[in-house]
Amino acid sequence: MSTPESLIPKFQISRLLKQDQHGRRISLLGSIDGQQGILTAERTAFATESLETLQAFHAAISKVNNLGDNDIYRWYLASSSDSSNASQQGTQQDLKLNLIWPCTEQHIKKYSDQKLRMVTETPAIYKDHVRPYMQAKREEGRLNWVFNILEGRTEQEDVVLRDDGHGLEDAFLMLPDLNWDRKTLSSLHLLALVHRRDIWSLRDLRKKHVPWLKYLRQRVLESTVSLYPDLEMDELKLYVHYHHRCWLQNAYLRLSDQPTYYHFHIHVVNVMLEAGATQATGKAFGLENLVSQLETLAGDEDASLADVSLTYYLGEASELWTEIFAPLKLKGGVQPKSQ
């Protein structure tokens, strides 16, 4: 059986799927032993501590070090330096590699360039179309890997903090996002997964959840600065995604096309982190803004974000577009409506 490290040299490139992050990340389609796979390579933040570290930057991938693997997903640190120029501490590992092998057609669509569409999800569209879509995805067992992490059965080596709170409703754990190198604080990116299972997405948040969200925010901030003392709370940004793929160290939130997973979690990033697509308007919802919106909602304690219209963008290859919003557009049902 092939070792994780041996798969990278065997990868046969077919074509470029996408280049993003200002040219720092590329996704390549290829194959290993006749089965298709996707290799994503991203340059980590450059070391700038001294002239020597700057001179240590090199051009060819070597020293591939497997960080972990889960099912068809693997992630690595590697070096783009020549061993002849390596420092006494060893060759600098300045590349992050993510390998999906074997990959599916859904993966290929996800990593390929695609046209984007702005859509408005009204309360009616959410109730009649999107909520049933979420239910179907959960029933496919796509969250089993999340529950395994939360219950301590898998990937505990990646958990950087576990907070039991006052019980399961308050408990959460934190892991590094797959796209963070785990050392460059200016690009820090963590995910806080809550233990409670009744909140699938921000749509399930109600006015009665405001005290819990405020408690969670404070504990996440306190925990992060405790883990990384060089950071202060006002250097951190917390946000929530809706219909977006997130990557935990376990390929984490994926399986087949899995990175779209409906289990409430919070992103914790350094405010200096470049605001790429995952933080863009229509993808990221600031936690503090969500709390404020809940506090000002009309109605009793059960008033929720399921009662408001949300506008965001989707790729044309997204199932949400092809199965819900494109057909609704043909029927004239996507435009914002007064509620």
Sheet containing 161-163: give its strands across.
Answer: 161-163, 172-176, 189-194, 265-270, 236-241, 284-286
Take residue 245 and report the two structure tokens written for it: 């793929």
Q: Taking the alpha carbons of 145, 142, 316, 191 in that order, is the dihedral positive or negative?
A: negative
267 by Cβ neighbours in 10 Å (0-12 / 13-18 / 19+) ranks as buried
Question: Around Cβ 164, how many Cβ atoms within 10 Å?
Answer: 11
Element (H, E) at 122: none
Distance CA 277, CA 21 (A): 9
């570290």: which residue's tokens?
53
Catalytic residue among 129, 263, 265, 267: 265
Contact 195, 168 (CB under 8 A): yes
Contact 92, 79 (CB under 8 A): yes
- Is 265 one of the annotated active-site residues of the chain? yes
């934190």: which residue's tokens?
174
Q: Which amino acid is present at 60?
A: A
Sheet containing 73-79: give its strands across.
Answer: 12-20, 25-32, 35-43, 95-100, 73-79, 62-70
Give the residue numbers marked as catalytic. 265
